[in-house]
Chain A
Amino acid sequence: DTGVSQDPRHKITKRGQNVTFRCDPISEHNRLYWYRQTLGQGPEFLTYFQNEAQLEKSRLLSDRFSAERPKGSFSTLEIQRTEQGDSAMYLCASSFPRTEPDTEAFFGQGTRLTVV
Chain B
Amino acid sequence: AQSVTQLGSHVSVSEGALVLLRCNYSSSVPPYLFWYVQYPNQGLQLLLKYTSAATLVKGINGFEAEFKKSETSFHLTKPSAHMSDAAEYFCAVSYNQGGKLIFGQGTELSVKP
Contacts and interface: CB of A to CB of B under 8 A. Distances in A.
A102 B51 CA distance: 10
Contacts of B42: 109-110
A8 to B, nearest CB: 13
A93 to B, nearest CB: 8
A48 B98 contact: yes
A interface bracket (residues with beta carbon within 8 Å of B): 20 to 34
Given A103-B32, A109-B43, A45 B96 contact: no
Given A40-B105, A101-B94, A103-B51, A45 B44 contact: no
Q: In the complex, which of the residues B36, B97, B98, B106 has the most CB atoms of chain A within 10 Å of its own CB atom?
A: B98
B94 A107 contact: no
29 contacts: A31-B98, A31-B99, A40-B105, A40-B106, A41-B105, A42-B92, A42-B103, A42-B106, A43-B101, A44-B103, A45-B100, A48-B98, A48-B99, A50-B98, A55-B98, A56-B97, A56-B98, A101-B32, A102-B99, A103-B51, A105-B46, A105-B99, A107-B43, A107-B44, A107-B45, A109-B43, A110-B41, A110-B42, A112-B41
A21 B98 CA distance: 23
Nearest to A102: B99
Interface of A: 4, 31, 33, 35, 40-45, 48, 50, 55-56, 91, 93, 95, 97, 100-110, 112
